[in-house]
Structures are given as C-alpha cells and as structure tokens.
Structure 1
Amino acid sequence: MTFKQKLTGLSALAALSSIAALSSCSTQHAETPKSICGTKVTKALIEPLLKPTEKVSEWHSAGWGEPGSAWCIVSVGNDRTLRFQFSWHPDSIDPLKFASPDDSVTGLWDPSPMHLADSAAIGDNGAIATTRCKSGKGDHFTIALRLTREGSVPHLRSEVEQFMRAYMPATMNAVGCTHP
C-alpha cells in the first residue's frame, strides 16, 4: 500500500468519523415546543430565542390566566432562557417606562418604541406590549418578554420583534382578550 493510498484511506475514515459525530450531535438536539406559556408558536419564531440543545420546560405562577399578574419561565435544560410577565390591569401603561434596564422584571437593553398593539417597547433582550382588552380580567392586557440568558445581553432585537408580532395577538386570543 502506498503512502497516497494510506492518506486517502485515513481521509475517508476521518470523513466518516465526522459524519458520525455530526449525526450523534443532531440526535442530542432537543425538540422545539409547539407552544410557549399556553400559546401556540411556530418553530421558526421560537427557535432563535430558545436555541434548544436540551429539554425545554416551563414553570408558571399559581393563578395562571386569572385576573392580576402571572409569570411563566421557559428553561432549556437547567438554564432559564425566557421570562414572560402577563398582566391584566384597569389602566393603560407606558411600556417605555417599564422598559428601563434598571427594572428587574421587565428591564430591556436599549429600549425603543415599537408599533404593536396599543403601545409597545422593544429592546435587545425582550419586549413589552400592551393593549385594551375586553374581558372579565381587566380593561388592559400586557405581555413583557425578557431573555434571561446568563452572562450577557443577547442582541436579538429583530428575532424578538418577529416573535412578539405573532405571540401578542395569539396570546390575546388564547386568554379570551378581544380588542374593543
């Protein structure tokens, strides 16, 4: 066997090893959920925010869907990835006021106004949207989303905007909130 034949054989073996490693990694890739915090979502909208590599799970507050305020945390493996705050309230709010990076619940990085619902703010790490809501739970409904990845602020403004444009109206429908 010549050196060139050995090299070709080793290259083929390395290529097969790489393919086997890639296919074993892809089997470890977790499945993207079909709903987030009670609202159906498309894989294309949620996957960029979650980047699931492990099992995706949810944890939400008691009294979920009742008048007042509720939260839902979405985790990938043991890492909390998304935090949602849902509020039904009697008066309108200014999302930019609550978007300050100093706010521990809804603080957003580099917030700016967004055209969604009655009023909204978007940042590099989340969004807040509010609308008038005809329901028995309150006159206004607000969703605050914050990406909670540890270590750095994710700069996913366009992905968050695409997600919220679909998630806000779908969630309003899911909780029985109709715009007057």
Structure 2
Amino acid sequence: MSLRDRAGGACALATFTLLCLPACSAQDISIPRSICDTPVEQKLTAPLLKRTGELSEWHTAGWGGKETSVCIISVDKSEALRFRFAWHTDTIDPMTYSSLDNSVTGLWEPRRVGHLAESATLGDNGAIATTRCEGRAKWHFTLALKVTRDQKIVHQRNDIEQFMRAYMPATMKAVGCTHP
C-alpha cells in the first residue's frame, strides 16, 4: 500500500469521524413545547438550555396552589433553569430581590426593564417580573427566572428578555391570572 493510499484512507476516516462526532456523541435534547406547565416557543427556550443530554422537570409539592412554587428544569441531572412563582397581597420591587447577595433570585448586573410587567428587572443570568393579578385570592403575581446551567456564561440578557416577554404573559394565563 502506497503512502498516498494510506493518507487517503486516513483522511476518509478522519472526515467520517469529524462528521459523526456531533451526531454520534451525546444525544441532543428535545426542547419541550412547554416549560413548567406553560406553553412557550422552542426557539425561545433553546438558547437557555445546554444542547445535549436528558431533560427533566421537577415541581414543588402542591404545584400552583401554594403562595410560592418552584419549578426546576435540569439537563443531565444538572440544574439548568430555576423558576419561582409567587402570589402575594403586597407590591414588591424586583430590584430588592435582584442583588447578588440574594441567594434565591440574585442576578448579575440587574437593570429595570419596561413593558415586561408592571415592574421587572433583567440580569445576565435571569429576570424577575411582578404585576397585579385578578382571578386569584392574592393580588400580585411574581415570576423569577434564574439560569443556572453554566455559571461561566454571563451574557444571556437578550435571550432571557425574549424568553420572559413571551413566558410571563403565557404563565399568567396558565395560572388563571389576568392583569386588571
């Protein structure tokens, strides 16, 4: 076998291996059509999740019926997204809960954002939105999202904002909350 034949065979094998690696390695996750019982476009969820692995969803007991509920989306048993849903009688300022020293909802570089809810903050790793709510015994609804999948990725603000602009009103509808 000549050197040229060996090189051609090695090249073909290397090309096959490179083409196969993305398809033959870990299986791509299937982006769900709903997150935490709320329908949302897959194209809005995909940037917030790791591309490969097994996706799972976990809710606190009494999901949706308690004053505060949590929903966690995991990829390969590692937490990727954490949602907190809260119903309360008083108004809150999301900036108060956005500081990094808040272990539950602390956000990187939080800033106020308009036209998302009555009051909202957006960070590089999550968002908090709150609004008045009719249709429940409690009069305010707050949704907090924290992206936890990779602490090294810090600039997801645009992806988070696009997701929240769709997810907040869809969640309000899903929990029976209408803005007065």
Query: Is TM (by shorter chain) over 0.5?
Result: yes
Please state how far the C-alpha of 1:51 moved relative to its aligned partner.
1.6
Query: Given residue 59 of structure 2, which amino acid in structure 1 is its aligned partner?
Result: H
Residues 1-180 of structure 1: matches in 2 within 5 Å? 2-25=2-25, 28-115=27-114, 116-149=116-149, 151-152=151-152, 154-180=154-180
Whole-Å separation in 2 of the counterparts to 1:125 and 1:21: 30
TM-score, length basis structure 2: 0.92
Check whether the contact 1:67–1:137 (CA below 8 A) recurs between aligned residues: no
Check whether the contact 1:101–1:109 (CA below 8 A) recurs between aligned residues: yes
Distance 1:17 1:136, change over 3 A: closer
**SS at structure 2 position matched to 1:178:** coil
Please state how far the C-alpha of 1:32 moved relative to its aligned partner.
1.2
Output the aligned Cα RMSD: 1.7
Whole-Å separation in 2 of the counterparts to 1:77 and 1:5: 43
Gaps of 5+ in 1: none
- Which deviates more, 149-158 or 77-86? 149-158
Whole-Å separation in 2 of the counterparts to 1:25 and 1:43: 23
Whole-Å separation in 2 of the counterparts to 1:13 and 1:72: 45
Check whether the contact 1:71–1:86 (CA below 8 A) recurs between aligned residues: yes
Whole-Å separation in 1 of the counterparts to 2:13 and 2:61: 55
Whole-Å separation in 2 of the counterparts to 1:9 and 1:77: 37
Please state how far the C-alpha of 1:73 moved relative to its aligned partner.
1.0
Whole-Å separation in 2 of the counterparts to 1:143 and 1:120: 9
Check whether the contact 2:117–2:129 (CA below 8 A) recurs between aligned residues: yes
TM-score, length basis structure 1: 0.92
- Which deviates more, 7-16 or 159-168? 7-16
Gaps of 5+ in 2: none
Write out per-residue CA displacement over residues 24-73 of structure 1, whole angstroms, 9 at most, x where no aligned residue.
136x1121111111111222111111124111111111221125111111
Q: How many aligned residue pairs are there?
A: 179
Whole-Å separation in 1 of the counterparts to 2:84 and 2:13: 52
Please state how far the C-alpha of 1:155 moved relative to its aligned partner.
2.2
Query: Given residue 87 of structure 1, which amino acid in structure 2 is its aligned partner?
Result: A
Whole-Å separation in 2 of the counterparts to 1:13 and 1:167: 46
Distance 1:66 1:137, change over 3 A: farther
Please state how far the C-alpha of 1:12 moved relative to its aligned partner.
1.8
